[in-house]
A and B are shown apart, each in its own frame.
With several copies, the nearest count.
Chain A
Amino acid sequence: MLAIDGTLFDFKRLDLLAMRESAVHRLDPRAKVLTTLVFIVCVVSFGRYELAAMLPFCLFPIALLALGDLPAGYIARKVLVVIPFAVMVGLFNPLFDRQVILQLGPLGIWGGWLSCLSIVVRALLTAAAAIVLVAVTGFPAICVALEQLGMPRVFAVQLLFLYRYIFVLTDEGGRVARARQLRSCGNKGMGLRHFGPLLGHLLLRTWERAERIHMAMLARGFTGEMHARRRGRFGAGDVLFVLGWSALFVTFRLYNFPQLLGMLLLGS
């Protein structure tokens, strides 16, 4: 059950990072969200065998990481978590696709290996962008930004509530799981006979908590409508940020810089 503590810790830590002060932290959240979306679309639009051409894109997460003064090791560890998933997905490619399509000196590389690696690289890039986005913006701000960009209010409020209570309920769930574990003498999972009531209990408590929160909201004059929060201004700096990065992404997408660079270096 220590996994629970680890999970919560990830949440808390990313959230605390977002409370730092820096130029990127101060940017309008909408600017960061939009830029990240452009980034992701550009990255995933690469063909299946492209590898080198994607590498310049790592500039974006690295730059934000640096400007936002985030702990590189921690972010890297979080990003690397996706590798097993990506590998699992790409694992079959080398089995099915054995066409040699790349010659690396004497070494012939199968298309499958290339596309597998390509999957891993794009997974890393997109994951890094998402995590860095959270770390320099903060989840609540992302929700507000999305709402300003047209997401329905109900959904935005739902996200905020969910986020708020993940901490409380995972904690409660953790304690229940702990109590069970301590009395179960080493049996790992549990039979359905125990699982149902246990989660049922947790559900009842969840429900009662929701009732109490609702009471607290009513007590403070809530009439069914969530009021708009303060809106930040989308300044010239924000526009510049979005346009600048987007232009760079499109350029990176259209021209294979590493290839050109390599050819230049090798003099071919």
Chain B
Amino acid sequence: MSHHIVEVKQLRHVYPDGTEALRDVSFRIHHGESVAIIGANGAGKSTLLLHLNGYLPATSGTIRIGDHPLSKETLNEIRRTVGMVFQDPDDQLFMPTVFDDVAFGPLNQGLTPALIEQRVTDALERVEARELRNKPPYHLSGGEKKRVAIATVLSMLPEILVLDEPTAGLDPRARRQLMALLQDFHHTRIITSHDLDMVLELCERTIVLHQGMVMADGPTLEIFGNETLLAACHLEKPFSMQGCPVCSPKAIRRLPKPQPPLVPPHGDRQHDHAHHLHDHDHHDH
């Protein structure tokens, strides 16, 4: 089942106005991995995600989803494989009812009504939103919208789930529910977020982007242990690793000091990493 691999090679993207959002991004993600992509505002996270299902064309570099290199011919196939959830669910829920919205993808796949019905029911079941089925999306609360947005993607049976800042704006309980939902999804997940505590809980692997380049790629715990790296990328440790302000009351920290220069990861580091991290898996490389 090599078709669940996501491979990005020397990806570069320049926006029409000249902004070089991605300079040189390479990584390889295997089936079933849960990978976080983190970085400062403007690091290029959203831009990267939009390449994964071919919405933005690469200025140079290649993307492979499973057996298919991304190209015009494979675009539809790849969009079926990669399910993308945007940050703002209002962008994703555009049909008059939740049912229509969740059925939109399967309808475009040309399924029979009975099959569509089943897909919708299953997807809503997975996100615990059965009872919302006939409601119009604009009457839902923020957390409900988020769950339905995920259902719209699940109903297409994606093999890879891509989420852009899934927990933004949610209260702690809704965030927990969403995280539990993502934990139960057993295919590949690629998540960007500023919520590093969520990353710590959900993703075993983290890729750090900085100014359009991969600065680090490795096990999440290792990355969050490297304070120099984090500071250089405008990041900081997840709060749960920062030490309890109650127990160790240097509670109020100030701005990090100017950062020491950082050595970019050497050549193929991420590939090496992927190899030894996933020795146990059964993919052909």
Among A232-268, those with CB < 8 Å from B are none
Q: How far is the CB of A258 from chain B (nearest CB, A)?
A: 37
Segment of A38-46, A99-107, A176-184 in the binding face: A176-184
The yes or no answer to A155 lying at the interface (CB within 8 A) is no
Specify which chain A residues have a CB less than 8 angstroms from the CB of B50 in the assembled complex.
178, 215
Selected from A15, A187, A215, the residue in CB contact (under 8 A) with B139 is A15
Tell me, in angstroms, the Cα distance from A106 to B136 when the chains sit together: 58
Residue interface mask B10-29, A partner, CB < 8 A = 1: 00000111000000000000
Selected from A163, A178, A201, A222, the residue in CB contact (under 8 A) with B93 is A201
Q: A12-B139, A219-B79 are in contact. Are A230 and B113 (CB under 8 A)?
A: yes
Contact B138 A204 (CB under 8 A): yes
Selected from B135, B137, B152, the residue in CB contact (under 8 A) with A183 is B152
Contact A9 B15 (CB under 8 A): yes
Chain A contact residue count (CB 8 A cutoff): 52
Contact A198 B94 (CB under 8 A): yes
Contact B107 A217 (CB under 8 A): no
The yes or no answer to B105 lying at the interface (CB within 8 A) is yes
Selected from A12, A140, A215, A222, the residue in CB contact (under 8 A) with B86 is A215
Closest chain A residue, CB of each to CB of B137: A164
The yes or no answer to A175 lying at the interface (CB within 8 A) is yes
Selected from A6, A9, A168, the residue in CB contact (under 8 A) with B138 is A168
Tell me, in angstroms, the Cα distance from A180 to B92 when the chains sit together: 7
Tell me, in angstroms, the Cα distance from A36 to B55 when the chains sit together: 41
The yes or no answer to B231 lying at the interface (CB within 8 A) is no
Specify which chain A residues have a CB less than 8 angstroms from the CB of B152 in the assembled complex.
183, 220
Specify which chain B residues have a CB less than 8 angstroms from the CB of A189 in the assembled complex.
none
Among A1-59, those with CB < 8 Å from B are 2, 5-6, 9, 12-13, 15-16, 19
Tell me, in angstroms, the Cα distance from A215 to B79 when the chains sit together: 11
The yes or no answer to A160 lying at the interface (CB within 8 A) is yes
Selected from B53, B88, B95, B135, the residue in CB contact (under 8 A) with A164 is B95
Of the candidates B57, B79, B91, B96, the one having the most CB atoms from chain A within 10 angstroms of its own CB is B91
Selected from B76, B84, B90, B95, the residue in CB contact (under 8 A) with A186 is B76
Specify which chain A residues have a CB less than 8 angstroms from the CB of B15 in the assembled complex.
5, 9
Instruction: State the 10 A-B residue pairs at the shortest beta-carbon distance, nearest first.
Output: A140-B96, A221-B108, A220-B105, A9-B16, A175-B91, A212-B91, A183-B105, A198-B94, A167-B138, A185-B108
